[in-house]
Amino acid sequence: MTHNLAKLGPKIALFEPDIPQNTAAIIRTCACLGAKLEIIEPCGFLLTDKRFKRVVMDYMDVKDIDFYKSADSFFNSKKDQRIILMTTKASISYTNFEFEKNDTILFGRESAGVPEKVHKIIKSRLKIPMENNKRSLNLASSVAIILAECLKQTKWI
């Protein structure tokens, strides 16, 4: 089944991503599954970075990505929308949460997550349960897991 979710479906937002290969892989995932991608700048790399280009291949269409110059502009644009923060600091598992079709799912920077002020703004904070003594999954893998669950719950796939 093919579909175009970009306007109606879930949105994946990346907070100041700093690893080009992860962002490129997430662009491919969003493109293939029809999810809208939003990037909160600044990025820790240039979109012309050869590591980025090698992974993104021909999947990047800049018109399908919303760029925000700052966290403030991102949050101002989302005043009436639900934002879910994925964080290892959450107590609720994504498997115990009901996603909605128009959710924006925010993922933090690979090196530092999101600032404390962002944690305080967002009501819904979820985690991917992991084995004890493990820090975190790769960002691109985390996005794929959560996006697949969101699409499944909202009957998009």
Is residue 110 within 8 A of residue 139, CB to CB? The reply is yes
CATH superfamily, region 11-153: SPOUT methyltransferase, trefoil knot domain (3.40.1280.10)
Q: How far apart are CA 147 and CA 155, in angstroms?
A: 12
**pLDDT tens digits, 79-127:** 989 999 999 999 999 999 999 999 999 999 998 999 999 999 999 999 9
pTM score of the predicted model: 0.89
**pLDDT tens digits, 26-58:** 988 998 888 999 999 998 877 776 766 666 666
